Amino acid sequence: MMGYRHIRSCAGRFGNARSPQFAPNEVSEIVASNGEPSFGNKVWSEVLRIQNIPLPVDGRSGPRRYRLEELLLGRIAEMQKATIQYGAPLQHGQARQATFRVVPIARHVSMISRKAIALPGQFLKETAPVWIPATIRPAAPDVKELVPIFSWDDHSSVDKAVARFSRTRKTGLRLVLRRPWFSTGEGERVGIVFWPPPVLNLPLLKTQPPFNEIEVPQSTALGLLTEEDLDPFGRFVSVWGIDPIKREPLEPIDRHRFLSWNDLKLPDKAMLHPRVLMPIPGAIPGQNKEIFVEVSVVSFPLTFVNGERDAYVDIDLAPVKGVAEAVVRLGVVRMQLNARQDTPPSQRIDRSGIRCSPPVAVQSQLLPERRLSVSVTEVNSKHGADGDQLSVSVVLSGPAAPIVVKKPDARVSIELSEHISGEELAVKTIGGRRARAEGSGDSKELFLKYDKGEASWVANFLLPGKLGTRNLVALAREEALMDPANGKIDTVDLPGYFGKVVVRNPLVIRG
pTM over 0.85: no
CB crowding 56-69: b at 16 or more within 10 Å, else e: eeeeeeeeeeeeee
**212 vs 214 pLDDT, higher one:** 214
pLDDT of residue 17: 35
| Helix intervals (H) in 306-420 | 403-406
Alpha-carbon gap, residue 79 to 9, rounded angstroms = 34
Mean pLDDT score across all residues of the chain: 78
Q: 27: closest CA among 296, 213, 306, 248?
A: 306
Q: Give the percent of the chain with pLDDT over 90.
A: 26
Q: 477: closest CA among 461, 455, 495?
A: 495
Helix and strand counts by DSSP (H, E) for the chain? 5, 24
Alpha-carbon gap, residue 52 to 9, rounded angstroms = 32
472-491, pLDDT tens digit by residue? Answer: 999 999 887 765 544 554 44
pLDDT > 50? residue 52: yes
Most confidently modeled of 112-121, 351-360, 485-494?
351-360
Burial of 93 (0-12, 13-18, 19+ CB in 10 A): middle
SS3 percent helix, strand, coil of the chain, rounded to 5, is: 10, 40, 50
CB crowding 438-465: b at 16 or more within 10 Å, else e: ebbbeeeebebebeebebbbbbbbebee
pLDDT of residue 483: 58
What's the mean pLDDT in 382-411?
78
pLDDT of residue 208: 43
70 and 84 in contact (C-beta within 8 Å)? no
Alpha-carbon gap, residue 344 to 441, rounded angstroms = 58
Instruction: Return contacts of 149-154, CB within 8 angstroms, 24+ apart.
Output: 149/173, 149/174, 149/314, 150/367, 154/501
pLDDT of residue 112: 66
Which of 111-120, 172-181, 391-400 is predicted least confidently? Answer: 111-120
255-285, pLDDT tens digit by residue? Answer: 889 999 889 998 889 999 988 999 988 755 5
pLDDT of residue 165: 93
- Torsion angle of alpha carbons 69, 75, 81, 84, nearest 10°? 20
pLDDT > 90? residue 439: no
pLDDT > 90? residue 340: no
Q: How confident is the model at residue 309 (pLDDT cuts 50, 70, 90)?
A: confident
CA–CA distance from 321 to each of 60, 196, 327, 369, 481 (Å)? 80, 21, 13, 12, 21
Alpha-carbon gap, residue 105 to 17, rounded angstroms = 14
What's the mean pLDDT in 216-234?
79
Q: Quick one: three-class SS letters along 41-63?
A: CCCEEEEEEEECCCCCCCCCCCC
Alpha-carbon gap, residue 399 to 370, rounded angstroms = 8
